[in-house]
Structure 1
Amino acid sequence: MGRKFLAWLIALIAITTPAFAQTSGGWWNKDWPYRRPVTVDTSPTGGNISGAIGRTVLLVRLHDGNFTFGDALENGADLRVLDTDGKTPLPFHIERYDAANSIATLWVSVPSLNGGEKRQLWLYYGNKNASAGSNVAQTYDPDTVAAYHFSEAAGKPAGDLTANANNAQNAVPAIDENGVIARAARFQGQGELVIPATPSLAMPAGAPLTLSTWVKADQPAGEQAIFTRGPLIVGIANGVPFALIGTQRIQAAAALKPGEWTQLGFVADGQNLRLYVSGVEAAAAAGALPALDGSITLGGAPGRPFTGELDEVRLSRTARPAAMLLASAQAEGPSNKLVTVAGTAERQSSGGGTFFYVLSKVELIDAFIIGLCLFILVLAVLVMITKSNYINRSVRANRVFLRRFRSLHEDLVGMKQVEGMSPRELATIERAPLGRIYETGIDELEVRRAVRGKRPLSGESVEAMRAAVDAVVVEENQKLDRWLVLLTIAISGGPFIGLLGTVLGVMNTFAGVAQAGDVNVNAIAPGIAAALMATIAGLTCAIPSLFGYNYLNSRISSLSDEMRVFVDRLITRLAEMQIEDATPPVLQAAE
């Protein structure tokens, strides 16, 4: 019963954290025992992309740091990608899957992507009886008329990945097994790729077009063509990207770095022509494309041979937004901040995450420590809420009192004697610390008037009045500070109590391993993970208490300063009133 209650308490706290919230989604299919969150981050913390991106194809890289290849099929046929809702399968295909070397690349079609958001996809795997889930053609939208990975075997013509089958009529001259993504096409100044004209490649005058490709120029000298079709040439001139449309030329300002991969893009929308380098606009001019027909040439052209490498060439019959080009550049480049795969897998058998699995391994002593820390946290939260409410009531009551105090001007009397005072206002003033100080000062003055009449107060009498009022100030400060010691106990004691539980848990784990004689990570890791929950509980107790204590202490200090200043003002005014009452007014001489 105690363990079940503890589980619910910890779960209630953990559910408010992003890590637990991500694992709380329903499981897509029980036949897939593993899944990993895949985060697409276009916010400033990730890709820092703004604007609508739309449906786009993003690269997901898998390696031994974010994927356990031993839990999946050797060819990756069991991989599935689900959308944010955890229910909708997304089209994807695998470009490379090398389980022996623990490396894989997937292309996933992500619908309706926008800038400035964090979107979570789900990668499922582990079904040993699954058939291949890749769908190459559906990965690309209908506006993508040609796409080339250059992943074919040597000597085989380069194939178009879209449903249009715009395959090249020849093979690339050479292959680089380790391009910017996977395999890349290597050109050595001859043997350019030729893609025959087809109906899907027909482009009338003024039609929109988007070309994107990764380029690595080995010898940037001279003018080199990367893409050529009729009057349109996109390439580099002495390393500087350019686009030539008939006689119109647009060119970037800076040259590409030799030997480094860079994404190059060209977009025509019927009114403007734009050139992009690594997803950033590098040149632009007004204009539209003429009619484009005939074959397409990649990796060189007559009089413009290309020496270098190309990878991931895509051609679209629409003007892609700049945000999409930037997203592709960031997802596919070496320094990827856009797409990340979680380093820890979630198991379907553990209820969608590792939290309850670790909780089930908690020893009795750690359970007691965790329960103690949570109990202290509950007390601390109650103190913070109660004390914050008391301070807020005192501040509001002080405001009401000060408004009435200022309306009295120089004639100070007890609040019950003030005309026009409503019972509600009087009740509020009675809750004000300044009001209680004020009434004490008035009572002290009345006592001295009853004994000495209206004679001016001596210095000793003024100090006696101040001492009486100061006693009220001390009482008010004690009320404000009451129970704050529980927060200091939580701040200083919580981490140490949690650390004690962790040390005891680790000690028990190693003792159990020594007794069993089985030294392996599966025997050690669960116990240590469970022991660390005691430290988490201690920090969970201390951190909110620390913030709450500092906040309350600053509010209490402000109230104390206000009371101290008011005491000086009140005593001085009461002494002046006694002097004024004792001194007859000066009568003006008659004219």
Structure 2
Amino acid sequence: MHSPTSRFMSRTPRLLTSLLLALALNLAGASFTAAAETNWWDAKWPTRKKIDIDTSGKGVAIAEPIGTTAVLVRLHEGVFSFMSAKEDGSDLRFIADDHKTELKHHVEKWDSLLNEAYVWVQVPDLKPASATSIWLYYGNTEAGAPEAAKETYEANTTLVYHFADAAKAGTDSSPTGANAEGTPPPAAGSLIGGGLRVFGQSVIKVPAPPLPEWAPGAPLTVSVWIKPSALQPNALILSRREAANAFILGLDNGIPFVELNKQRSSVGAPIAAGGWHHVAAVADAGTITVYLDGKSYGALTAAMPLLKEPVEIDKDSSPAAASFVGYAGELDELQIAKTARPAGFIHFAAVNQGTSADAAKLITLGEDEASDHKEEGEIMKHLSLITDISKDLTFDGWVVIFLCTVLAVVGWIIAVGKIMYLNTIEKASAEFMKRWEKISSDLTAIDTEDNESIKNIGGTMSSKMQKLMRQSPLYQLYHLGADEISSRMKSFRQVTFNPQEKKEAKIMGLSGRSIQAIKATLHGGMVREVQKLNGKLVFLTIGIAGGPYLGLLGTVIGVMITFAVIAKSGEVEVNSIAPGIAGALLATVAGLAVAIPALFIYSYLSSRIKDVVSNMETFIDEFVTKMAEHYKE
């Protein structure tokens, strides 16, 4: 079986090529794409990123009208540099593709520790079956806080609960400001940042006013993300009443429904518990359409009556709701609008706010672009200075730096592979010692003629565990010792020849010479394991010893060439000497950059290898002692 180190080394040529290419790109300064100043919104923001919203067939095909909507932009470490933004994200600005119009937005959650953020951006008149681009600008440390969250939603939106505010989970982010009463603390790790975990035991009220009444026959849209913990009959998610009139959004054994004055919408296939689903109800022109995950699911022919009492979530306090139970599970992103949202709007929200593969196709974030007016940080200044110095480096110096780079890359590949190997050894040895403790009190369990019994430690280990154990040097030593005991005990077995009786073996003892021979075999196995552990570490020592000398060679050659050029020209000026000397010293820097990390890594690996060797020596002593005790001469 190949060790992790050998497998890692087999890929060395490809890794070496890739890393050298990456190094060349860095030296060329290709970290940012330069942006044209004519299209830059504000030079105070040094960095921008393009965001594409694709509702065509190339992204997620949405043919129905969408309109103005709040788009969820998820930011994480893979697509956004949190180190370049302010700690609270207040420097974020979203600009339309005309590079002039600032789009309203608000941050639902910003976690600079976990490098995670959820931002809502109002995109006016989003078109179906087309691609729309907006721009995210950030990096202005002097930027003030953006506009209030309520500005993100247009006037028809009457309620938005993100359930993310730790102080008050029921904070309304819409212009209405109808904060819920009786909301529990938000639950972390929900669909979009924080969410609400409910158990169907208490009523969460949305006060009315400020929540406006639902007028007779007026259009309405209610949407919410649900994750039921269990499927219940007639589970109530949301309700609103006025006298005998009642609007109920619920879940009946996994079937989302709308019930209006005891008339229920048509049913579809039930959903399963434990998964997130987007449920929406749209009332328009005497018909209420139920949507599930952005697609039409059911319908009810009925006009909306007058409803102006408070909206109740999770449970209905009215005696008329006795046939309903409270919903148990999680809720997120509850929205109510006094307009009938088009089918494209519902479809877009279900995909954009969800976590399916289509969400990544619908919204894509481009690479960072830098403004020409960007002020360089200290690190960038140093890198720029080193790049300028490298322009005066001679060909000999470049050869030396290339060789140092090869040493560094090979050294790091060896180091990573060796650390992986040592981690595997440590895990395998820990598992082996657990099983060794069980059989060390009776070694006769492994002295049978059955080689499989030796491999599985007397029947205490599965074949899957054997595969892991083979990585442990302790297991290899045990296997050597067990084989030696088994082979010597074969000649001492006395077996009855009566076919009517079971064969019984009488184990004889081992002589002192046999024990010494087995001990010598174990020490020989340990030497081979040590050689395996130390294998390829020579490349690190070459980097430690050879890196500085290579760098010094490049520096000496560079200085020599510099003085030879000065001697020929006859001009002795600082401006003519300094660039050449600085370029020559760059080779020494490269050599030290190879040697210093290699020295630290080598010391770390040597310490870990020493621990493994000590464990092997201790195990050999314990094995020989147990063997002498069980097989007395």
- For the aligned pair, the TM-score class normalised by the smaller chain equals 0.5 to 0.7
Q: Deviations over 1:310-340 (max 9, x none)?
A: 1000000000001001111111100213553
TM-score (norm 1): 0.56
Q: Does 1:327 align with 2:338?
A: no
Structure 2 residue 129 is the aligned partner of structure 1 residue 108: no
- 2:147 is aligned with 1:126: no
Q: CA deviation at 1:101?
A: 0.8
Q: Secondary structure in 2 aligned to 1:201?
A: coil
Query: For 1:384-463, what aligned pairs fall within 5 Å after superposition?
Result: none
1:203 aligns to 2:218 (yes or no): no
| Corresponding residue number in structure 2 for 1:264 | 279
Distance 1:106 1:210, change over 3 A: same
Residue from 105, 118, 130 that aligns with 1:117: 130
Shift of 1:165: 1.2
CA distance in 2, matches of 1:298, 1:164: 18
Q: CA deviation at 1:40?
A: 0.7
Structure 2 equivalent of residue 252 of structure 1? 267
Corresponding residue SS for 1:225: strand
Residues 519/350 of structure 1: CA separation in 2 closer, same or farther (3 Å cut):
farther
Please give the alpha-carbon distance, in whole angstroms, between the structure 1 residues aligned to 2:53 and 2:585.
42
Identify which of 229, 233, 248 aligns with 1:233.
Answer: 248
TM-aligned CA distance change 1:95 to 1:199, over 3 Å: closer
Distance in 2, Cα, partners of 1:323 & 1:22 = 34
Q: Which residue of 2 aligns with 1:410?
A: none
Structure-2 change in CA distance of 1:127 and 1:247 (3 Å): same
2:231 — aligned with what? Answer: 220
Deviation at 1:286, TM superposition (A): 2.5
Structure 2 residues without counterparts, runs of 5 or longer: 1-31, 318-323, 375-383, 393-583, 594-633
The residue number in structure 2 matching 1:286 is: 301
In structure 1, distance between residues paired with 2:253 and 2:349: 26
Residue 517 (structure 1) aligns with = 590
> Is the CA contact 2:53–2:364 (under 8 Å) kept in the aligned structure 1?
no
User: Deviations along 1:425-469, whole A, 9 cap, x unmatched?
Assistant: xxxxxxxxxxxxxxxxxxxxxxxxxxxxxxxxxxxxxxxxxxxxx
Q: Please state if 1:340 is matched with 2:363.
A: yes
Matched residue, 2:165: 152
1:188 aligns with 2:211: no
Q: Is the contact between residue 94 and residue 134 of structure 1 (CA under 8 Å) also seen in structure 2?
A: no
Q: Secondary structure at the match of 2:120?
A: strand
2:260 and 2:302 in contact (8 A); partners too: no
Q: Deviations over 1:270-311 (max 9, x none)?
A: 321100011111012322111112010112325321100110
Aligned residues: percent identity?
A: 33
Number of residues of Structure 1 aligned to a counterpart in Structure 2: 351
Q: 1:77 to 1:519 in 2, by over 3 A?
A: farther
Structure 2 residue 312 is matched with structure 1 residue 297? yes
Checking the alignment, whether the CA contact within 8 Å between 2:34 and 2:369 is kept in structure 1 is no
Letter in 1 for 2:365: A
**Distance change >3 Å, CA 305–CA 513, structure 1 → 2:** farther
Residue of structure 1 in register with 2:79 after alignment: 66
Alpha-carbon deviation of 1:46? 1.0
Contact 2:68 2:124 in 1 (8 A): yes
Give how far 1:93 is off: 0.1
Task: Check 1:127–1:211 CA distance in 2 against 1; reply closer, same or farther (3 A cut).
Answer: same
Distance 2:329 2:49 in 1: 37
**Aligned equivalents of 1:67, 1:129: Cα separation in 2:** 19
- The match for 1:314 is 335
Alignment CA distance shift 1:86-1:248 (3 Å)? same
Cα separation, 1, equivalents of 2:592 and 2:127: 49
Residues 331 and 81 of structure 1: is their aligned pair in 2 closer, same or farther, counting only changes over 3 Å? Answer: same
How has the CA–CA distance of structure 1 residues 324 and 25 changed in structure 2, closer, same or farther, with 3 Å as cutoff?
farther
Q: Calculate the TM-score normalised by the size of structure 2.
A: 0.52
Unaligned runs of 5+ in 1: 1-18, 352-356, 365-510, 521-591
Matched, 1:82 2:95: yes
- 1:246–1:164: structure 2 CA closer, same or farther, 3 Å change rule? same
- Preserved CA contact (<8 Å) 1:270 1:289: no
Distance in 2, Cα, partners of 1:57 & 1:325: 12
Q: C-alpha distance in 2, partners of 1:277/1:20?
A: 42
The answer to whether 1:98 aligns with 2:119 is no
**Aligned equivalents of 1:75, 1:519: Cα separation in 2:** 39
What one-letter code is carried by the residue in structure 1 that aligns with 2:247?
Answer: L
Instruction: Verify the 8 A CA contact 1:279 1:328 in the aligned structure 2.
Output: yes
Which letter maps to 1:272?
Answer: T
- Alignment match, 1:165: 177
Q: Would you say the 8 A contact 1:227–1:235 is kept in 2?
A: yes
Contact 1:214–1:264 (CA under 8 A) maintained in structure 2: yes
Confirm or deny: 8 A CA contact 2:249 2:259 kept in the other structure. Answer: yes
Contact 1:225 1:300 (C-alpha < 8 Å) held by counterparts:
yes
Amino acid at match of 2:335: R
* Structure 2 SS opposite 1:101: coil
TM-aligned CA distance change 1:347 to 1:251, over 3 Å:
same
Cα distance change of structure 1 residues 190 and 142 upon mapping to structure 2, 3 Å threshold? same
Distance 2:172 2:297 in 1: 28
Query: Tell me, what secondary structure is at the counterpart of 1:294?
Result: coil
Matches within 5 A, 1:484-503: none
Quote how far apart the aligned CAs of 1:167 are: 1.2
- The aligned amino acid for 1:72 is A
Task: After TM superposition, give the deviation of residue 252 of structure 1 in Å.
Answer: 3.4
Q: CA deviation at 1:141?
A: 0.6
Query: CA contact under 8 A between 1:157 and 1:170: conserved in structure 2?
Result: no
Counterpart position of 1:586: none
Deviations 1:355-389 (CA, angstroms, capped at 9, x unpaired): xx9xx99999xxxxxxxxxxxxxxxxxxxxxxxxx
Partner Cα separation in structure 2 for residue 518 and residue 83 of structure 1: 49
SS at match of 1:301: coil
Give a deviation string over 1:370-412, Cα, whole Å, max 9, x none.
xxxxxxxxxxxxxxxxxxxxxxxxxxxxxxxxxxxxxxxxxxx
Structure 2: distance between partners of 1:64 and 1:513:
33
Contact 2:352 2:363 in 1 (8 A): no
The 3-state SS of whatever aligns with 2:70 is: strand
The alpha-carbon deviation at position 349 of structure 1 amounts to 2.0
Aligned-residue RMSD, C-alpha: 3.0
* 2:150 alignment counterpart: 137
- CA change 1:178–1:512 in 2 (3 A) is farther
